[in-house]
Amino acid sequence: MPDTSAGTRVENMVEDTAAAAADVLYMVSDPGGTPVPRKIEVRNILPRRYLQVTLFAAGASVDTATSTTFVEIPDEMDTYFLAEASALHITAGTDTTATTIPTNVQVFNTTASVYMFSTAATTSLTIAAAGTVDSSYTIDTTTGNHIVAAGEVLRFDVERVPDSTAPVGLIVTLGFDF
């Protein structure tokens, strides 16, 4: 990286008010001990942001065939990208057949008209209180569908085939990085 500001005091530099994720900042590691000059990318300073949505309340049975919930991306998450997802049922359901009947969750960006998962997130009936989603979902990173902008509206589509005892409650958490 070229040093274009040699001899320029920090207070005399031009301020950048819109840092990009790949911008590099100068820092001093361990200033109180043995100071070492380092660089760090902006993306490594900002913490992961989480968006948690209750799709079915704690007492609500997830026994309908479909359900839809909407949420708006806040301004501070502009240009963030979807990095992880998790889901949980408050109370697990039971399956009367030999195979598990899952709850499928898909996230659709209504503003950009794109799905954020190339494979829907799937919770099994037995997931409860652990906060995990089966690892069968895939975030679509090939076309930029996982990047959000402030004000965009996400739709959470839930689909489940009813069985004898449906799970209760459904909370989905999405983690976004800068």
* pLDDT in the model for residue 85: 86
What residues form DSSP beta bridges with 132?
A: none
CB 143 within 8 A of CB 53: no
Q: What is the pLDDT of residues 5-45, one digit of tens each?
A: 567 777 788 888 877 778 888 888 888 999 898 998 887 88
Question: Is residue 64 over pLDDT 70?
Answer: no
Q: What is the pLDDT of residues 110-144, one digit of tens each?
A: 999 999 988 776 665 444 444 455 556 788 888 88
CATH 2.60.120 location in the chain: 49-177
Residue 11, SS3 per DSSP: helix
* pLDDT in the model for residue 70: 93
Q: Which of 81, 150, 140 is nearest to 106 (CA)?
A: 140
Question: Is residue 159 over pLDDT 80?
Answer: no
d(CA 133, CA 93) in angstroms, rounded, equals 15
DSSP label of 75: G
Domain 49-177 has CATH 2.60.120: yes
